[in-house]
Structures are given as C-alpha cells and as structure tokens.
Amino acid sequence: MIELDGLTKVFGDRVAVDDLTVRVRPGRVTGFLGPNGSGKTTTMRCVLGLARPTAGTATVLGVPYRRLWRPLTRVGALVDPRARHPGRTAYAHLLALARSNGLSRARVTEVVDLVGLEAVAHDRVGGFSLGMGQRLGIAAALLGDPEVLLLDEPVNGLDPEGIRWVRELLRALAAEGRTVLVSSHLMSEMEDTADHLVVVGRGRLLADVPMAELLGASAAVRVRSPQAPLLAAALRRAGAAVTLELDGALRVEGMDPARVGDAAFATGVPVHELTRVVASLEAAYLELTGGEVEFRAGLP
C-alpha cells in the first residue's frame, strides 16, 4: 500500500506535484500515467524519501519511507536506470546494495539469474546498453523480495521480448498480492499490464480509475446502414449521441449494440454492420490529458 495525502512538491516557482491524494492498493498493477514533466518521477522520489514534500505526506506500508528498517526488504524501486557507478560491475553494485540491507550473496546471484544478466554480471556497468541497465535496475528492485514495488518507466529501452518479460513479471508480482506501481508515458504498454490507472497532468490528478472503466467510458457502437439518415434520427429520438463517420458509418454513443439493433429493426432499416468500438487507451488518455501537457510541439 502506498498512500499519498495532499502531496505537493514545488521547485522554485514550478509546481511539480499539486495536491495529489492517491491510494495504491496491493494485488494489482497500478499504472501511473502522464505526459513528460507531469510529476510522475517527482512523486516517486517523494515516496522513496529522496525528495522532501513541500506539503502533504507520502507513506509506504503506513510509514514514511525514511523510517523503514532495511527498506529493500519491504519496498523495491527502480528510479533512474543510470543510478550506478559506471566503473563498478553489476555484481558489485547489487552486492553493495544487498549487504547494506543484510541480504546474502546467494540472493544477489538469484536476482542476476532472474533478470537474465548472468553472462555480464562481472562486467563494468559503464558498458551496458539501456536495456541491460533496466534489467539491472529491476534486479536491484527485486533484491529484498519486497511487498511493494515502484518502477519508473521500467520498459524504456527494452526490446519487445524484454517488454513482454517485464509485463509478465509485473502481473505475476501483483498476483502474489504485492503492491505494484509502474509509471509510463507509453499507453500501449499500460493497456496490457495495468489493472488500475492513476493519470496525472501538470502534477494534478486527472483520473484514478480501473482500466476497464477508463476504456468503457469512451466506448461506442459503429453501425452502417444504406438508410443512415433515417436510422440516425431514430437513434437520436431514443437518446443516443450520433455522429457521422468519414466512411458513411454512424458512431453511436450512450447505447449498447443490442439496443441499436433493436432500434434499426423497429424503424425498418437494413443494417450492414454493427460493431462495438472499444476506445484505445491512447485515445482515452489523450482525451484526459489534452489540456495538461507541459511541452506541446507544433507542426512545422
């Protein structure tokens, strides 16, 4: 369980995190979404005691992180894939972390094998690719077999096989009853991984909803008929919002496919296509964060 209560962090005159109140519950993967610069990393740093909140509190397992005894055995974190000395070997990096929390050499070997870095464990990390760095960061997060995991952009730089591995790993960890918070700006990744979403923009909370609900909110029905104007009029009378799509089909919101079909039958118009359209997370997310991006690029 991770609890944020009115968490606020101000850097100079820039509000990075603005009055965030969220509970991240165990047993599911919570996706932490937001555009670049929306305060995800700052929030995680506050939770991990690296940054001091300007106002509000952040607690893990009921206490501020800095009061945890041997925190790696309670909370695992991946904050910055570059957070290591390039001259050290992967093994020495992990062993130093393990020893500081009373963990054994055997456990270091275990996590090295788990993330698939056996072959390069005794190489200096300065020569690692971004993907290998991410695996090393995940190994560090898993060292103490923690019940809470915070991972900031864990799939950044991973190849498709690595992305699938992280997704399955996160789902398995959550299924064991752990609290898993994983941030990303890649919606497509979250769609297959997260059960619950916390969406932020400019440091403010935009949504704290189950994945299905966010997707369902913008679900629609697509219907095609040679007598589209007639059908559209009937559907509008029944209370649906109807728009004409570019290919001549109708997009119906606020009505399920069965009722659309019934309406067509009652009106006596033929139906050539009737499909439920589930919005992509990408679209739902863009709708939410449209006005909240920090850096907006124009077209040339």
Partner 1 sequence: MTGLLSSGWIRLRSVRSTWWCTAVYVVVAAGFGWLAAAGTPTSSRADVAVEVALTGFGFAQLALVVLGVLSVSAEFGTGSAVSALVAVPRRTSWLAATTAVVAGWAALLTALVALGCAVAARALIAVPGGVSPTDPVVLRELGLQVAGAVLVTVLGVGLGAVLRATAGGVGLGIALVFVLPPALAVAGSRWAERGSQALPALRVGQESFLAVDTTWPVGLAVTGAWAAGAWALGALLLERRDF
Task: Using the minimum distance from each CB to partner 1, give the nearer residue, 127 or 239.
Answer: 127
Q: What's the min distance (Å) between Cβ of 141 and partner 1?
A: 9
Residue 216 neighbours by CB distance under 10 Å = 13
For residue 300, the one-letter residue type is P
Contact call for residues 108 and 114 (beta carbons, < 8 A): no
d(Cα 261, Cα 274) in Å, to the nearest integer? 8
DSSP 27: T
For residue 46, the one-letter residue type is C
Q: What's the min distance (Å) between Cβ of 189 and partner 1?
A: 24
Task: Using the minimum distance from each CB to partner 1, give the nearer residue, 131 or 254.
Answer: 131
Task: Using the minimum distance from each CB to partner 1, give the nearer residue, 78 or 173.
Answer: 78
Task: Using the minimum distance from each CB to partner 1, give the nearer residue, 140 or 199.
Answer: 140
Task: Using the minimum distance from each CB to partner 1, give the nearer residue, 47 or 194.
Answer: 47
Q: Identify the sign of the CA torsion 100, 105, 107, 113.
A: positive
Determine which helix (DSSP H) or strand (DSSP E) holds 2, and give its type and residue range.
strand 2-11
Name the burial class of residue 10, with classes exposed (0-12), middle (13-18) and buried (19+) by CB atoms within 10 angstroms of its CB. middle
Task: Using the minimum distance from each CB to partner 1, give the nearer residue, 24 or 51.
Answer: 51
Encoding tokens for residue 95?
């062993």
Q: What's the min distance (Å) between Cβ of 60 and partner 1?
A: 11
Find where tokens 């700052």 sit: 42
Q: Residues in the site for partner 1, rule: CB under 8 A?
A: 45, 48-52, 65-66, 68, 71-72, 77, 79-80, 82-89, 92-93, 95-102, 140
Q: What's the min distance (Å) between Cβ of 129 and partner 1?
A: 17
Q: What's the min distance (Å) between Cβ of 103 and partner 1?
A: 9
d(Cα 84, Cα 78) in Å, to the nearest integer? 12
